[in-house]
Amino acid sequence: MKAASFIMLVACGALAGCAALGKADKPVTMRLSPGFPTATPDLPGSIAVAPVQARGVTAALRYAYIDSAAPGEIRQAASLFWEEPPPRVIERALVAGLKTRFVTVSGPAVPVPADQRIAIVLTRFEEAGAGGAARAVVAFDATVVKDGKITRSGSFCGSMPIDTASATLRARAFEGAIGTAVEGVVQLMATGSAPAPAC
């Protein structure tokens, strides 16, 4: 055996995804575009959405899931990725959702003075369960500040079933879960009372 061939075999053996393990899955990037019903904003005042905070896999681009056989572990898929980090998706969704009720809403990209500021800490953004019981789960804590004081706070969650393993349908389930959670925040801001968490 030539030295070059031997080195190639050793190198291949050290790398994941070599022939012995089969060809790696092709990466798939999923886009999220949660939408909200068209409405004419009717509430005065201005709201600013602060940058959404998250940590660990909740803030990562790689798709996170929990296997029902090991509920204490958050795992990451090998080939599924989000187009943008979940915190940025939540920011966009909050701005879009709040604009259905409030006249003036700004996001983190436009740091302008506002009557109220809402801060979000993303706690879950994952697939939970397995098989026919799999669902997209999005959860976060929200705090509203006005004149330097906390005026409202609450925990919000959205959950939607994932009908198949299709990446497209997974993304649609997450859009639904995001919409449910964000609608809870909009209700809190508009009425002062928050709905019970949806999951």
Here the CATH number for the domain that contains residue 68 is 3.40.50.10610
Whether the pLDDT of residue 197 is over 90: the answer is no
pLDDT in tens, 119-157: 999 999 999 987 678 999 999 999 999 999 999 999 999
Percent of the chain with pLDDT over 90: 67
More confident residue, 155 or 71: 155
Average pLDDT over residues 50-71: 93
**Per the domain annotation, does 12 fall within a domain?**
no
DSSP conformational letter for 110: S
In a domain, 8, yes or no: no
Q: Has residue 47 been placed in a domain?
A: yes
106: pLDDT strictly greater than 50: yes
Question: Which residue segment(s) compose the domain that 75 sits in?
Answer: 27-191
pLDDT at 16 over 50: no
Assigned domain for 39 exists: yes
Predicted confidence at residue 24, as pLDDT, reads 53
**pTM, full prediction:** 0.84
Domain contains 9? no
Does some domain include residue 119? yes
Residue 11 inside a domain? The answer is: no
For residues 135 and 159, the answer to whether their CB atoms sit within 8 Å is yes
Question: Is the pLDDT reported for residue 5 higher than 50?
Answer: no
Q: How many domains does the chain have?
A: 1
H or E stretch at 45: strand 43-49
**Residue at 14 is within a domain:** no
Q: Quick one: tokens of 26? A: 């092709």
pLDDT at 198 (0 to 100): 66
State residue 199's pLDDT score: 75
Tell me how far apart the alpha carbons of residues 14 and 179 are, in angstroms, rounded to a whole number: 44
pLDDT of residue 11: 35
The pLDDT of 86-92, averaged and rounded, is: 98
- Specify the residue for token string 């393993």: 165
